[in-house]
Amino acid sequence: MNLKRSGALLGAVALGAMTLAACGSDNNAASSGVDAASSNATCEGKANLSSAGSSAQKNAMDQFVSTYISVCQEKGKTVNLAYNPSGSGDGRTQFIASQIDFAGSDSAIKAEQAEQAKARCVGGEAWNLPLVFGPVAVAYNLDGVEDLVLNGEVTAKIFNGTIKKWNDPAIAALNPGATLPDQDITAIIRSDSSGTTDNFQQYLTAASNGAWTTGAGSDFTGGIGEGAKGSAGVAQAVASAPGSITYVEKSYADQNKLSAAQIDTGSGPVALSDESAAKAIEGAQFKGEGVGDLTLDLGSIFGTKEAGAYPLVLATYEIVCSKGYDADTSAAVKSFLTSAANEGQDNLAEQGYVPLPDSMKEKLNASVAAIG
């Protein structure tokens, strides 16, 4: 794909609040060995790009920015994208208000917010472009239990308060031979509006055989739990609270050295791994057809019964205007997303994410090229 735009994209990334949580430092691994000549990123457009939203994609965004800087430096350009991991809900709000160039969100923009975005995207609409896939761990802190197995129904009952003890018969039935303590379960939930919460609750709705009855949404609906803000907040809370459990992106679970439950979809327990998550993503379907909005049919992932597929995978979208940007902003947004969708995917697994399958990368590149 060749992007032909003019202008210069200048600046330097503000990394003060963007250090990689997974390694405690700037991610420079991707910045070495990047073949700029093979990149279709033009490095052209407005001087400063801005984005905000999903904390789940923060580590991936750091890598995308680092890689983009490297590509553009080799092309004689200095680039800037500042990303604020303020939460998916805040990102969508800022996007609608034209306070940022694009948003990161763990939930597709839809309904009333999608209508509101049309005023910002003059002559166009908001497109949801899946750029980052992150397995969500059902992470727990339980001494002596390293290979916990759960399924959708039992997980739903833990997070709606029906199952209160770790040695509950329903948990024991999934873990024969394990010594489960007579200990209260403390559910740690997101206190902020979160696409991770929305995706987790959509998973419970799809996979719990009716045990989850309170629906989905960016706010937790289960009626129990102790709240913590952000992905880092819930992971740190579980790390410091024996007997606790949460839902959090794999990168944050890894960072805090939390155990992650295996999930039994009916075809046997499946451990969370790059391979098992990728297997679920490869079976993903889209709600629409053709080039443009790429909102996923999440039921095709969350409800999978395929052996060896880990179903609890969060898709993070970049929400962009299909039309309505000025020429410089359009060029910069397209250039950055082109880099992120291609060379930016290299080494993502090291940050706890799953790189885009080739079939999805092809669709994403076509949609990015179609931005007006």
pLDDT in tens, 303-316: 999 999 999 998 99
Considering the domain architecture, whether residues 112 and 140 belong to the same structural domain is answered as no
Q: Is 73 exposed, middle or buried (0-12, 13-18, 19+ CB in 10 A)?
A: middle
pLDDT at residue 10 above 90? no
Residue 352 labeled ligand binder:
no
Centroid of chain to Cα 251: 10
Residue 196 labeled ligand binder:
yes
Domain-embedded: residue 31: no
Residue 106 labeled ligand binder:
yes
Beta carbons within 10 angstroms of residue 307's beta carbon: 12
User: 362 CB contacts (<8 Å, ≥6 apart)?
Assistant: none
Considering the domain architecture, whether residues 244 and 359 belong to the same structural domain is answered as no
Length of the chain: 372
The residue-averaged pLDDT of 242-271 equals 95
Residue 45 labeled ligand binder:
no
Domain-embedded: residue 16: no
Considering the domain architecture, whether residues 177 and 198 belong to the same structural domain is answered as yes
CATH classification at residue 72: 3.40.190.10
Residue tagged 């750029």 (tokens) = 131
pTM of the model: 0.76
Q: Tens of pLDDT along 322-358?
A: 999 999 999 999 999 999 999 999 989 888 889 998 8
Considering the domain architecture, whether residues 261 and 168 belong to the same structural domain is answered as yes
Residue 82 labeled ligand binder:
no
Domain-embedded: residue 118: yes
Residue 208 labeled ligand binder:
no
Considering the domain architecture, whether residues 94 and 175 belong to the same structural domain is answered as no
Grade residue 194 by pLDDT with cuts at 50, 70 and 90: confident
Residue 56 labeled ligand binder:
yes
Residue 106 belongs to domain spanning: 36-133+285-298+314-369
Domain-embedded: residue 13: no
Considering the domain architecture, whether residues 269 and 227 belong to the same structural domain is answered as yes
Residue 55 labeled ligand binder:
yes
Token pair in block for residue 304 = 């999978």
